[in-house]
Structure 1
Protein backbone atom coordinates (compact mmCIF):
# COMPACT_ATOMS: atom_id res chain seq x y z
CA UNK A 1 0.00 0.00 0.00
CA UNK A 2 1.00 3.64 0.09
CA UNK A 3 0.02 5.47 3.28
CA UNK A 4 2.57 8.29 3.35
CA UNK A 5 4.66 10.01 0.72
CA UNK A 6 6.66 13.17 0.15
CA UNK A 7 7.04 15.86 -2.49
CA UNK A 8 10.22 17.84 -1.95
CA UNK A 9 11.15 18.96 -5.47
CA UNK A 10 10.91 22.61 -6.43
CA UNK A 11 7.75 23.68 -8.30
CA UNK A 12 9.81 24.44 -11.40
CA UNK A 13 11.08 20.86 -11.54
CA UNK A 14 7.56 19.48 -11.11
CA UNK A 15 6.19 21.76 -13.83
CA UNK A 16 8.91 20.69 -16.25
CA UNK A 17 8.53 16.97 -15.54
CA UNK A 18 4.76 16.99 -15.93
CA UNK A 19 4.52 19.46 -18.81
CA UNK A 20 2.61 22.12 -16.88
CA UNK A 21 2.41 25.62 -18.33
CA UNK A 22 1.60 27.09 -14.91
CA UNK A 23 2.17 25.91 -11.36
CA UNK A 24 1.91 28.00 -8.21
CA UNK A 25 4.75 27.80 -5.74
CA UNK A 26 4.54 25.41 -2.82
CA UNK A 27 6.84 24.42 0.06
CA UNK A 28 8.51 21.00 0.28
CA UNK A 29 6.35 18.43 2.06
CA UNK A 30 8.10 15.57 3.84
CA UNK A 31 5.20 13.70 5.42
CA UNK A 32 2.02 13.79 3.32
CA UNK A 33 -0.75 11.84 5.02
CA UNK A 34 -4.30 10.75 4.15
CA UNK A 35 -7.02 13.43 4.43
CA UNK A 36 -4.51 16.15 3.53
CA UNK A 37 -4.57 18.10 0.26
CA UNK A 38 -2.24 16.72 -2.42
CA UNK A 39 -1.07 18.03 -5.77
CA UNK A 40 -2.33 16.06 -8.77
CA UNK A 41 -2.03 16.48 -12.53
CA UNK A 42 -5.05 15.99 -14.77
CA UNK A 43 -5.69 16.20 -18.50
CA UNK A 44 -7.01 19.63 -19.39
CA UNK A 45 -7.84 21.42 -22.59
CA UNK A 46 -6.41 20.01 -25.79
CA UNK A 47 -2.89 21.41 -26.45
CA UNK A 48 -2.38 24.02 -29.12
CA UNK A 49 -1.16 22.37 -32.32
CA UNK A 50 2.53 23.08 -32.90
CA UNK A 51 3.20 24.24 -29.32
CA UNK A 52 5.08 22.55 -26.49
CA UNK A 53 2.13 22.80 -24.11
CA UNK A 54 0.46 19.58 -23.02
CA UNK A 55 -2.88 21.02 -21.91
CA UNK A 56 -2.39 19.44 -18.47
CA UNK A 57 -3.46 21.19 -15.31
CA UNK A 58 -2.44 20.99 -11.66
CA UNK A 59 -5.08 20.66 -8.95
CA UNK A 60 -5.21 20.38 -5.18
CA UNK A 61 -7.50 17.58 -4.01
CA UNK A 62 -8.06 15.63 -0.81
CA UNK A 63 -6.18 12.37 -0.43
CA UNK A 64 -9.04 10.09 0.56
CA UNK A 65 -11.34 9.04 -2.27
CA UNK A 66 -15.12 9.47 -2.08
CA UNK A 67 -17.18 7.99 -4.94
CA UNK A 68 -19.82 10.26 -6.42
CA UNK A 69 -22.67 7.95 -5.38
CA UNK A 70 -21.89 8.21 -1.64
CA UNK A 71 -24.68 9.96 0.25
CA UNK A 72 -22.68 11.09 3.28
CA UNK A 73 -18.84 11.12 3.15
CA UNK A 74 -18.73 11.15 6.95
CA UNK A 75 -20.20 7.65 6.97
CA UNK A 76 -17.95 6.29 4.22
CA UNK A 77 -14.50 4.79 4.94
CA UNK A 78 -11.54 6.78 3.65
CA UNK A 79 -10.06 5.11 0.55
CA UNK A 80 -6.40 6.03 0.03
CA UNK A 81 -5.32 3.18 -2.29
CA UNK A 82 -6.96 1.35 -5.19
CA UNK A 83 -5.67 -2.05 -6.24
CA UNK A 84 -4.59 -2.08 -9.89
CA UNK A 85 -5.91 -5.60 -10.28
CA UNK A 86 -9.52 -4.64 -9.47
CA UNK A 87 -9.83 -0.86 -10.00
CA UNK A 88 -11.59 -1.18 -13.36
CA UNK A 89 -14.35 -3.39 -11.91
CA UNK A 90 -14.83 -2.15 -8.34
CA UNK A 91 -17.94 0.05 -7.97
CA UNK A 92 -15.97 2.62 -5.96
CA UNK A 93 -13.37 3.21 -8.69
CA UNK A 94 -14.96 2.02 -11.93
CA UNK A 95 -16.16 5.44 -13.14
CA UNK A 96 -12.97 7.24 -12.16
CA UNK A 97 -10.85 4.57 -13.83
CA UNK A 98 -12.69 5.21 -17.04
CA UNK A 99 -13.11 8.99 -16.88
CA UNK A 100 -10.79 10.60 -14.30
CA UNK A 101 -7.28 9.15 -14.26
CA UNK A 102 -4.63 11.46 -12.82
CA UNK A 103 -0.94 11.61 -11.94
CA UNK A 104 0.30 12.22 -8.39
CA UNK A 105 3.73 13.92 -8.30
CA UNK A 106 5.99 12.51 -5.58
CA UNK A 107 9.62 12.38 -4.52
CA UNK A 108 9.12 8.95 -2.98
CA UNK A 109 7.03 7.15 -0.39
CA UNK A 110 7.30 5.54 3.03
CA UNK A 111 6.67 1.92 3.85
CA UNK A 112 6.82 -0.03 7.09
CA UNK A 113 8.43 -3.43 7.45
CA UNK A 114 6.62 -5.73 9.86
CA UNK A 115 8.33 -8.98 10.73
CA UNK A 116 5.15 -10.46 12.16
CA UNK A 117 6.77 -11.40 15.45
CA UNK A 118 4.86 -10.68 18.63
CA UNK A 119 5.89 -7.34 20.07
CA UNK A 120 8.01 -6.49 17.04
CA UNK A 121 8.13 -2.82 16.08
CA UNK A 122 7.29 -1.64 12.57
CA UNK A 123 10.38 -0.26 10.90
CA UNK A 124 9.90 2.65 8.45
CA UNK A 125 11.74 2.96 5.15
CA UNK A 126 11.96 5.86 2.72
CA UNK A 127 11.62 4.57 -0.87
CA UNK A 128 13.02 7.02 -3.40
CA UNK A 129 13.94 6.70 -7.09
CA UNK A 130 17.66 6.11 -7.56
CA UNK A 131 17.79 8.59 -10.43
CA UNK A 132 16.04 11.31 -8.46
CA UNK A 133 12.54 12.71 -8.67
CA UNK A 134 9.92 13.72 -9.13
CA UNK A 135 8.06 10.60 -10.16
CA UNK A 136 4.41 10.08 -11.04
CA UNK A 137 2.14 7.73 -9.12
CA UNK A 138 -0.97 6.56 -10.93
CA UNK A 139 -4.10 8.04 -9.37
CA UNK A 140 -7.85 8.37 -9.74
CA UNK A 141 -10.00 11.40 -8.94
CA UNK A 142 -13.65 12.01 -8.19
CA UNK A 143 -15.81 15.05 -7.46
CA UNK A 144 -18.41 14.63 -4.73
CA UNK A 145 -21.38 17.01 -4.81
CA UNK A 146 -23.64 17.68 -1.81
CA UNK A 147 -27.39 18.35 -2.14
CA UNK A 148 -26.75 22.02 -1.32
CA UNK A 149 -24.46 22.34 -4.34
CA UNK A 150 -21.15 22.33 -2.48
CA UNK A 151 -18.53 19.92 -3.74
CA UNK A 152 -14.97 18.74 -3.24
CA UNK A 153 -12.42 16.71 -5.21
CA UNK A 154 -10.74 13.63 -3.78
CA UNK A 155 -8.11 11.20 -5.03
CA UNK A 156 -6.70 7.73 -4.51
CA UNK A 157 -3.28 6.26 -5.38
CA UNK A 158 -3.25 3.08 -7.44
CA UNK A 159 -1.05 0.27 -6.10
CA UNK A 160 0.24 -3.01 -7.49
CA UNK A 161 2.33 -5.94 -6.29
CA UNK A 162 5.82 -4.99 -5.12
CA UNK A 163 8.84 -5.73 -7.27
CA UNK A 164 11.63 -7.99 -6.02
CA UNK A 165 13.52 -5.08 -4.44
CA UNK A 166 10.62 -3.93 -2.27
CA UNK A 167 8.99 -7.27 -1.51
CA UNK A 168 11.14 -7.89 1.59
CA UNK A 169 9.64 -4.70 3.07
CA UNK A 170 6.03 -4.87 1.86
CA UNK A 171 4.03 -6.77 -0.75
CA UNK A 172 2.48 -3.66 -2.39
CA UNK A 173 3.82 -0.48 -4.00
CA UNK A 174 2.40 2.52 -5.88
CA UNK A 175 2.06 2.20 -9.64
CA UNK A 176 4.68 4.45 -11.25
CA UNK A 177 3.77 5.94 -14.63
CA UNK A 178 6.82 6.70 -16.76
CA UNK A 179 7.02 10.11 -18.53
CA UNK A 180 6.60 8.55 -21.96
CA UNK A 181 3.27 7.11 -20.77
CA UNK A 182 1.84 10.24 -19.12
CA UNK A 183 -0.34 11.15 -22.10
CA UNK A 184 -1.75 7.65 -22.52
CA UNK A 185 -2.63 7.31 -18.82
CA UNK A 186 -4.31 10.73 -18.70
CA UNK A 187 -6.19 10.31 -21.98
CA UNK A 188 -9.63 9.17 -20.85
CA UNK A 189 -11.25 10.17 -24.14
CA UNK A 190 -9.63 7.53 -26.36
CA UNK A 191 -7.90 5.20 -23.87
CA UNK A 192 -10.27 2.90 -21.99
CA UNK A 193 -9.18 1.08 -18.82
CA UNK A 194 -8.26 -2.03 -20.81
CA UNK A 195 -6.01 0.10 -23.02
CA UNK A 196 -3.89 1.27 -20.06
CA UNK A 197 -3.92 -1.96 -18.04
CA UNK A 198 -0.33 -2.67 -19.14
CA UNK A 199 0.83 0.53 -17.37
CA UNK A 200 -0.31 -0.71 -13.96
CA UNK A 201 2.72 -2.87 -13.29
CA UNK A 202 5.50 -2.85 -10.68
CA UNK A 203 8.37 -0.43 -11.21
CA UNK A 204 11.48 -2.07 -12.72
CA UNK A 205 13.93 -3.65 -10.30
CA UNK A 206 16.53 -1.11 -9.26
CA UNK A 207 14.18 1.84 -9.79
CA UNK A 208 13.75 2.54 -6.06
CA UNK A 209 16.26 2.44 -3.24
CA UNK A 210 15.13 1.71 0.31
CA UNK A 211 16.58 3.90 3.05
CA UNK A 212 15.90 3.03 6.70
CA UNK A 213 14.61 6.09 8.56
CA UNK A 214 13.55 6.87 12.11
CA UNK A 215 10.06 6.37 13.49
CA UNK A 216 9.55 10.14 13.54
CA UNK A 217 7.57 9.67 10.34
CA UNK A 218 4.93 7.77 12.33
CA UNK A 219 3.60 11.08 13.67
CA UNK A 220 1.80 13.25 11.14
CA UNK A 221 2.85 16.31 13.16
CA UNK A 222 6.49 15.68 12.21
CA UNK A 223 7.09 17.38 8.88
CA UNK A 224 10.77 18.32 8.70
CA UNK A 225 13.52 17.21 6.29
CA UNK A 226 15.10 15.12 9.08
CA UNK A 227 12.44 12.49 8.32
CA UNK A 228 14.48 11.46 5.27
CA UNK A 229 17.76 10.99 7.15
CA UNK A 230 19.19 7.50 7.09
CA UNK A 231 19.47 5.55 10.34
CA UNK A 232 21.56 2.46 10.89
CA UNK A 233 19.44 -0.66 11.01
CA UNK A 234 19.62 -4.27 9.86
CA UNK A 235 18.00 -4.66 6.41
CA UNK A 236 14.87 -6.82 6.26
CA UNK A 237 15.45 -10.41 5.27
CA UNK A 238 14.25 -11.58 1.88
CA UNK A 239 11.65 -14.36 1.82
CA UNK A 240 13.29 -17.75 1.83
CA UNK A 241 13.13 -19.73 -1.40
CA UNK A 242 11.55 -23.18 -1.23
CA UNK A 243 14.01 -26.05 -1.00
CA UNK A 244 14.62 -28.00 -4.17
CA UNK A 245 13.40 -31.17 -2.47
CA UNK A 246 10.04 -29.60 -1.79
CA UNK A 247 10.45 -29.81 1.97
CA UNK A 248 11.05 -26.13 2.57
CA UNK A 249 8.54 -23.43 3.34
CA UNK A 250 8.19 -19.88 2.20
CA UNK A 251 8.56 -17.08 4.73
CA UNK A 252 5.76 -14.55 4.53
CA UNK A 253 5.77 -10.95 5.84
Structure 2
Protein backbone atom coordinates (compact mmCIF):
# COMPACT_ATOMS: atom_id res chain seq x y z
CA UNK A 1 0.00 0.00 0.00
CA UNK A 2 1.18 3.52 -0.77
CA UNK A 3 0.22 6.42 1.45
CA UNK A 4 1.03 10.01 0.46
CA UNK A 5 0.61 12.78 3.00
CA UNK A 6 0.32 16.39 1.84
CA UNK A 7 1.35 18.78 4.61
CA UNK A 8 3.08 22.08 5.29
CA UNK A 9 5.12 20.46 8.07
CA UNK A 10 6.67 17.23 6.76
CA UNK A 11 9.19 17.06 9.60
CA UNK A 12 6.34 16.23 12.01
CA UNK A 13 6.20 12.72 10.51
CA UNK A 14 9.89 11.84 10.86
CA UNK A 15 9.56 10.18 14.24
CA UNK A 16 6.29 8.41 13.44
CA UNK A 17 7.62 6.54 10.42
CA UNK A 18 11.01 5.73 11.98
CA UNK A 19 9.90 3.51 14.84
CA UNK A 20 7.86 0.50 15.86
CA UNK A 21 5.19 -1.10 13.66
CA UNK A 22 5.20 1.59 10.95
CA UNK A 23 8.95 1.27 10.42
CA UNK A 24 8.74 -2.52 10.37
CA UNK A 25 5.91 -2.38 7.85
CA UNK A 26 8.05 -0.24 5.55
CA UNK A 27 11.08 -2.49 5.99
CA UNK A 28 8.91 -5.46 4.96
CA UNK A 29 7.57 -3.57 1.91
CA UNK A 30 4.05 -3.83 3.30
CA UNK A 31 3.47 -0.10 3.01
CA UNK A 32 5.34 2.95 1.74
CA UNK A 33 4.90 6.46 3.13
CA UNK A 34 5.56 9.59 1.10
CA UNK A 35 5.40 12.98 2.82
CA UNK A 36 5.04 15.93 0.45
CA UNK A 37 5.21 19.63 1.32
CA UNK A 38 2.47 21.08 -0.86
CA UNK A 39 3.98 24.55 -0.45
CA UNK A 40 6.44 23.43 -3.14
CA UNK A 41 3.57 23.45 -5.64
CA UNK A 42 2.59 27.05 -4.99
CA UNK A 43 2.90 29.31 -8.03
CA UNK A 44 3.10 32.40 -5.84
CA UNK A 45 6.56 33.94 -5.98
CA UNK A 46 6.75 33.79 -2.19
CA UNK A 47 5.28 30.27 -2.15
CA UNK A 48 2.22 31.43 -0.22
CA UNK A 49 -0.50 28.83 0.18
CA UNK A 50 -3.10 30.89 2.07
CA UNK A 51 -5.00 34.12 1.72
CA UNK A 52 -7.65 36.25 3.43
CA UNK A 53 -11.24 34.93 3.18
CA UNK A 54 -13.71 36.64 0.88
CA UNK A 55 -16.38 38.36 2.91
CA UNK A 56 -14.05 39.12 5.78
CA UNK A 57 -13.51 37.29 9.04
CA UNK A 58 -10.59 36.10 11.10
CA UNK A 59 -7.89 33.66 10.04
CA UNK A 60 -6.42 32.62 6.73
CA UNK A 61 -7.79 30.14 4.19
CA UNK A 62 -5.77 27.62 2.17
CA UNK A 63 -5.90 28.48 -1.53
CA UNK A 64 -6.89 25.78 -4.03
CA UNK A 65 -4.02 25.95 -6.55
CA UNK A 66 -1.18 24.34 -4.51
CA UNK A 67 -3.32 21.43 -3.36
CA UNK A 68 -4.92 20.80 -6.74
CA UNK A 69 -1.48 20.69 -8.36
CA UNK A 70 0.01 18.53 -5.60
CA UNK A 71 -2.80 15.97 -5.86
CA UNK A 72 -2.52 15.97 -9.65
CA UNK A 73 1.21 15.27 -9.35
CA UNK A 74 0.66 12.34 -6.97
CA UNK A 75 -2.11 10.87 -9.10
CA UNK A 76 0.12 10.99 -12.20
CA UNK A 77 2.51 8.66 -10.37
CA UNK A 78 -0.21 6.25 -9.26
CA UNK A 79 0.22 2.75 -10.68
CA UNK A 80 -3.37 1.59 -10.36
CA UNK A 81 -6.73 3.30 -10.20
CA UNK A 82 -7.03 6.87 -9.02
CA UNK A 83 -6.31 6.97 -5.26
CA UNK A 84 -8.82 8.20 -2.72
CA UNK A 85 -8.10 11.71 -1.47
CA UNK A 86 -8.84 12.14 2.23
CA UNK A 87 -9.24 15.56 3.80
CA UNK A 88 -8.62 15.78 7.55
CA UNK A 89 -11.04 18.33 8.99
CA UNK A 90 -13.41 18.82 11.98
CA UNK A 91 -16.44 18.73 9.66
CA UNK A 92 -15.66 15.28 8.30
CA UNK A 93 -17.16 11.85 8.95
CA UNK A 94 -16.17 10.55 12.41
CA UNK A 95 -13.24 8.17 11.99
CA UNK A 96 -13.84 4.61 13.15
CA UNK A 97 -12.38 1.12 12.95
CA UNK A 98 -14.85 0.40 10.17
CA UNK A 99 -13.48 3.33 8.17
CA UNK A 100 -9.92 2.16 8.84
CA UNK A 101 -10.83 -1.29 7.49
CA UNK A 102 -12.38 0.36 4.43
CA UNK A 103 -9.25 2.43 3.76
CA UNK A 104 -7.06 -0.64 4.31
CA UNK A 105 -8.56 -2.23 1.19
CA UNK A 106 -7.17 0.54 -1.02
CA UNK A 107 -3.89 0.30 -2.92
CA UNK A 108 -3.18 3.99 -2.40
CA UNK A 109 -4.37 6.88 -0.24
CA UNK A 110 -3.67 10.61 -0.35
CA UNK A 111 -4.11 12.40 3.00
CA UNK A 112 -4.43 16.19 3.06
CA UNK A 113 -3.46 18.02 6.25
CA UNK A 114 -4.86 21.51 6.54
CA UNK A 115 -3.84 24.46 8.66
CA UNK A 116 -5.07 27.96 9.37
CA UNK A 117 -8.79 28.80 9.38
CA UNK A 118 -9.81 26.26 6.77
CA UNK A 119 -9.86 25.27 3.10
CA UNK A 120 -11.19 27.00 0.04
CA UNK A 121 -14.52 25.24 -0.49
CA UNK A 122 -13.55 24.18 -4.02
CA UNK A 123 -11.04 21.80 -2.46
CA UNK A 124 -13.86 20.02 -0.65
CA UNK A 125 -16.23 20.01 -3.60
CA UNK A 126 -13.94 19.07 -6.46
CA UNK A 127 -10.73 17.50 -5.13
CA UNK A 128 -11.35 15.18 -2.19
CA UNK A 129 -13.26 11.89 -2.06
CA UNK A 130 -13.52 11.64 1.74
CA UNK A 131 -13.62 14.06 4.66
CA UNK A 132 -12.60 12.57 8.01
CA UNK A 133 -12.55 13.86 11.58
CA UNK A 134 -10.82 12.00 14.41
CA UNK A 135 -13.02 13.61 17.05
CA UNK A 136 -15.34 16.43 18.02
CA UNK A 137 -12.62 18.93 18.79
CA UNK A 138 -10.39 21.28 16.81
CA UNK A 139 -6.63 20.81 16.37
CA UNK A 140 -4.01 23.18 15.01
CA UNK A 141 -3.75 21.14 11.83
CA UNK A 142 -4.55 17.84 10.19
CA UNK A 143 -1.16 16.20 10.81
CA UNK A 144 -2.19 14.35 13.97
CA UNK A 145 -5.31 13.05 12.22
CA UNK A 146 -3.18 11.83 9.31
CA UNK A 147 -0.92 10.03 11.79
CA UNK A 148 -3.95 8.31 13.29
CA UNK A 149 -5.10 7.10 9.87
CA UNK A 150 -1.59 6.01 8.85
CA UNK A 151 -1.16 3.95 12.02
CA UNK A 152 -4.64 2.39 12.11
CA UNK A 153 -4.62 1.48 8.41
CA UNK A 154 -1.07 0.14 8.36
CA UNK A 155 -1.62 -2.34 11.17
CA UNK A 156 -4.47 -3.87 9.16
CA UNK A 157 -2.18 -4.67 6.24
CA UNK A 158 -1.16 -8.31 5.89
CA UNK A 159 2.37 -8.74 7.20
CA UNK A 160 2.44 -5.51 9.22
CA UNK A 161 2.07 -7.21 12.60
CA UNK A 162 4.08 -10.10 13.96
CA UNK A 163 0.87 -11.90 14.93
CA UNK A 164 -1.79 -11.71 12.23
CA UNK A 165 -4.61 -12.36 14.74
CA UNK A 166 -3.77 -9.23 16.75
CA UNK A 167 -5.64 -6.82 14.49
CA UNK A 168 -8.62 -9.18 14.26
CA UNK A 169 -9.19 -9.31 18.02
CA UNK A 170 -8.45 -5.67 18.82
CA UNK A 171 -11.05 -3.50 20.49
CA UNK A 172 -13.62 -2.25 17.94
CA UNK A 173 -12.52 -4.77 15.28
CA UNK A 174 -15.14 -7.24 16.51
CA UNK A 175 -17.69 -4.56 17.35
CA UNK A 176 -16.86 -5.01 21.05
CA UNK A 177 -14.14 -3.89 23.42
CA UNK A 178 -11.31 -6.37 23.80
CA UNK A 179 -11.14 -8.84 26.71
CA UNK A 180 -8.53 -8.45 29.53
CA UNK A 181 -5.00 -9.75 29.01
CA UNK A 182 -2.62 -11.36 31.51
CA UNK A 183 0.97 -12.61 31.38
CA UNK A 184 3.60 -14.00 33.76
CA UNK A 185 3.83 -14.28 36.71
CA UNK A 186 0.63 -16.18 37.48
CA UNK A 187 0.52 -14.41 40.85
CA UNK A 188 1.86 -10.94 41.60
CA UNK A 189 1.61 -9.38 45.07
CA UNK A 190 -1.43 -11.51 45.85
CA UNK A 191 -3.15 -10.73 42.54
CA UNK A 192 -3.82 -13.90 40.56
CA UNK A 193 -4.45 -14.62 36.90
CA UNK A 194 -7.92 -16.16 36.36
CA UNK A 195 -7.70 -19.94 36.64
CA UNK A 196 -9.38 -20.53 33.30
CA UNK A 197 -6.45 -18.92 31.46
CA UNK A 198 -4.07 -21.40 33.07
CA UNK A 199 -6.27 -24.42 32.35
CA UNK A 200 -5.15 -25.06 28.78
CA UNK A 201 -8.79 -25.69 27.86
CA UNK A 202 -9.13 -23.62 24.68
CA UNK A 203 -12.92 -23.76 24.41
CA UNK A 204 -13.34 -22.53 28.00
CA UNK A 205 -10.75 -19.81 27.43
CA UNK A 206 -12.57 -18.58 24.33
CA UNK A 207 -15.89 -18.59 26.19
CA UNK A 208 -14.33 -16.62 29.07
CA UNK A 209 -12.81 -14.09 26.69
CA UNK A 210 -16.10 -13.57 24.90
CA UNK A 211 -17.94 -13.07 28.19
CA UNK A 212 -15.33 -10.61 29.44
CA UNK A 213 -15.44 -8.72 26.15
CA UNK A 214 -19.22 -8.42 26.43
CA UNK A 215 -18.93 -7.38 30.08
CA UNK A 216 -16.34 -4.71 29.37
CA UNK A 217 -18.39 -3.31 26.50
CA UNK A 218 -21.57 -3.39 28.59
CA UNK A 219 -19.96 -1.43 31.44
CA UNK A 220 -17.81 0.99 29.45
CA UNK A 221 -19.41 1.43 26.02
CA UNK A 222 -22.98 0.13 26.08
CA UNK A 223 -23.73 2.19 22.97
CA UNK A 224 -21.63 -0.26 20.94
CA UNK A 225 -23.86 -3.23 21.75
CA UNK A 226 -26.69 -2.01 19.53
CA UNK A 227 -24.38 -2.26 16.50
CA UNK A 228 -22.53 -5.45 17.46
CA UNK A 229 -23.23 -8.81 15.82
CA UNK A 230 -24.53 -10.68 18.86
CA UNK A 231 -25.54 -14.34 19.09
CA UNK A 232 -28.46 -15.51 21.24
CA UNK A 233 -25.89 -16.71 23.77
CA UNK A 234 -24.27 -13.26 23.81
CA UNK A 235 -27.64 -11.65 24.39
CA UNK A 236 -28.34 -14.02 27.29
CA UNK A 237 -25.06 -12.96 28.91
CA UNK A 238 -25.93 -9.28 28.47
CA UNK A 239 -29.39 -9.86 29.94
CA UNK A 240 -27.70 -11.36 32.96
CA UNK A 241 -25.49 -8.29 33.34
CA UNK A 242 -28.57 -6.08 33.13
CA UNK A 243 -30.32 -7.95 35.92
CA UNK A 244 -27.24 -7.76 38.10
Q: TM-score when scaled to structure 1?
A: 0.24
| Bigger Rg, which one | 2
Which of the pair is proportionally richer in helix?
A: 2
Q: So what's the TM-score if we normalise by structure 2?
A: 0.25
